[in-house]
Structure 1
């Protein structure tokens, strides 16, 4: 075997690990639309203790996203789970900065909250985008508003993360399903935050996807971009180079996990508050990124292919690769990078079974 082939073999080899027990979890997410709740149901079905839900800017603004979260918890009598608002903006990124980058390097297929305000789309149920982070769009809340007694906590999400991690050192798993701004803020606010986390699972982590972005539609380009990293590259770099005991990125492994009409018909044949929302509002055209990241956090035996590599995010604003993953082999890497696990594939049959089981329950 040549030295080159040996290096490739070492990079690709994966040894399966048994299913683990996950006790305490914080869900950090940019809650999108009226049917983003499946990750929480997967955790509850696995008897995980959800310490709280932290909300971060991403697909929309935090105030609108938080209303979705609070109403979801009401519908399932789950209001004992506390909710914490997080960052209003990325660490450096702004709509102006993003638009300027596009002039130099080309259009970003999806910009989340930084998309231009679209009154037509909002009237059809799209959460608000554009320049005002406090604007609420009622037409994008078809599940209804939460009651006045169900509100977010006063503590900032980053402070809540720090508090819980130090209350339960080395016991808290962080499930990061949106941009990584809240997590990066916690790292910068507290020097021992990351080292006291049990593990962090991140819904992101594509690499070598440039060809896939040019061989189809704009939607195809979007599906093969890495929005959670692109929206706040500086935060992503802070997280990927922090001293967490374990960092796992699940983006690529979730690409094949997509709802279809027959599967939706199957799981909604049992009527619960959540299957009703899925039938009406769950998007059919996107992979189940957040759900897959959650499932592998709980059930590591779902992983069928993974790699470990030294990695960071390109944070050079002048680069056409700004906000994307870069990998190194050990002999060529800069001194500050660390090993990160990338999930490449999962057992989709078992994954779909787990989702069906979770959403058909009454909690």
Structure 2
């Protein structure tokens, strides 16, 4: 499958136009989440790594590793975001699980969770993530408003709103990963893996923050819900990656390809399927893609959205949506949002091959990337 000409033109024009701005908050990071916005012409004005699916230390550690791989520690500032939810605690999280059922994946709330990184050994900016977000939005509000991309808990963004409510009107908008709808049947009939991928852990871990953020009144709010579950690794994708690299050995023997190694692993999808951690959907990466290249969106639905914040509800932390004519008008705050239903799948998979096979290590010095062709030996 060839990369579409319109998207090639958009990517090629990056060096000749003023970069758009984006601030990223997540509970971990991989290469695609970093590189796709850059490929789409965005300048990343901050990375804030927060508690959520990983501990704060592990979120920071994975982000620092990615920045180091691509030699970007000098031009993309790394911050520590929210280290705990607004109200939710480990105890209340597990109490709710006892009352209404537990998700398969519990992230950093998993009993016995042990950090993989020592936060004291990670280099990052000492400005708290919420304050860094506010500073970035205020700095560019009159020239190039900052887009916010949040793919873990919404806590850091909620903190920023509580400190500086004008953040919402001064930012360009918000893209989030999370917000599944109509997944009860999948949860009831699926195996553990299917239940896991249909569980909205990003909102469940901090429902109050999610409600604050999703109903804040953004200029635009895009929710990457169910569509992000449909874009997954496959043997076809493995074969394309291996062929482009010139063989599985080339991938496995070059540290620059650590992000591709984490996707392909053995190179055999059937073998990897035995370990579900290796075949999770491209959740956050999909949101990165349709934020950076909105032309890949093929279907979306405008809704009014809210998050259930009643602790004694089996739907605590889950997204609720309405059509404009049927939404609550009193007592239950809602916010305008756009749910993305589908994207150009083939183009997204093309992104993976295009983005991760570029040489990004001079980007901080030149603002450009170059093709790896002819450079594979020696990496």
TM-score (normalised: structure 2)? 0.79
1:47 corresponds to 2:47: no
1:179 corresponds to 2:153: yes
Return the match for 1:275 from 224, 238, 257.
257
Superposed counterparts of 1:51-70, under 5 Å: 51-70=45-64
Superposed counterparts of 1:193-208, under 5 Å: 193-208=167-182
Displacement of 1:300: 0.9
Q: Are residues 26 and 160 of structure 1, via their aligned partners in 2, closer, same or farther at CA, if it must alter by over 3 Å?
A: same
Q: Are residues 329 and 47 of structure 1, via their aligned partners in 2, closer, same or farther at CA, if it must alter by over 3 Å?
A: closer
Q: Are residues 136 and 327 of structure 1, via their aligned partners in 2, closer, same or farther at CA, if it must alter by over 3 Å?
A: closer
1:267·1:360 contact (CA, 8 Å) conserved in 2? no
Q: Are residues 259 and 90 of structure 1, via their aligned partners in 2, closer, same or farther at CA, if it must alter by over 3 Å?
A: same
- The aligned counterpart of 2:132 is 160
1:249·1:341 contact (CA, 8 Å) conserved in 2? yes
- The aligned counterpart of 1:37 is 31
2:25·2:81 contact (CA, 8 Å) conserved in 1? no
1:191 corresponds to 2:203: no
Rounded Cα–Cα distance in structure 2 between residues aligned with 1:273 and 1:45: 21
Rounded Cα–Cα distance in structure 1 between residues aligned with 2:324 and 2:69: 50
2:179·2:223 contact (CA, 8 Å) conserved in 1? yes
- The aligned counterpart of 1:81 is 76
Q: Are residues 42 and 147 of structure 1, via their aligned partners in 2, closer, same or farther at CA, if it must alter by over 3 Å?
A: farther
- The aligned counterpart of 1:10 is none
| 1:98-142 residue CA offsets vs partner (Å, 9 max, x unmatched) | 11111211122221100111xxxxxxxxxxx2xxxxx6425xxxx
Rounded Cα–Cα distance in structure 1 between residues aligned with 2:258 and 2:25: 24
Structure 1 residue runs without a partner (length 5+)? 1-18, 118-128, 130-134, 139-144
Return the match for 2:116 from 88, 112, 137.
137
1:109 corresponds to 2:104: yes
1:304·1:345 contact (CA, 8 Å) conserved in 2? yes
Q: Are residues 212 and 108 of structure 1, via their aligned partners in 2, closer, same or farther at CA, if it must alter by over 3 Å?
A: same
Q: What secondary structure does 1:308 align onto?
A: strand
1:258·1:284 contact (CA, 8 Å) conserved in 2? no
How many pairs are equivalent? 319
1:25 corresponds to 2:22: yes
| 1:295-320 residue CA offsets vs partner (Å, 9 max, x unmatched) | 00011111111101111000000000
- The aligned counterpart of 1:100 is 95
Rounded Cα–Cα distance in structure 2 between residues aligned with 1:93 and 1:201: 23
Q: What secondary structure does 1:214 align onto?
A: helix
Q: What secondary structure does 2:320 align onto?
A: strand
- The aligned counterpart of 2:211 is 237
Structure 2 residue runs without a partner (length 5+)? 1-9, 246-250, 265-276, 361-379
Superposed counterparts of 1:346-357, under 5 Å: 346-357=343-354
Q: Are residues 309 and 320 of structure 1, via their aligned partners in 2, closer, same or farther at CA, if it must alter by over 3 Å?
A: same
TM-score (normalised: structure 1)? 0.82
RMSD of aligned Cα (Å):
2.2
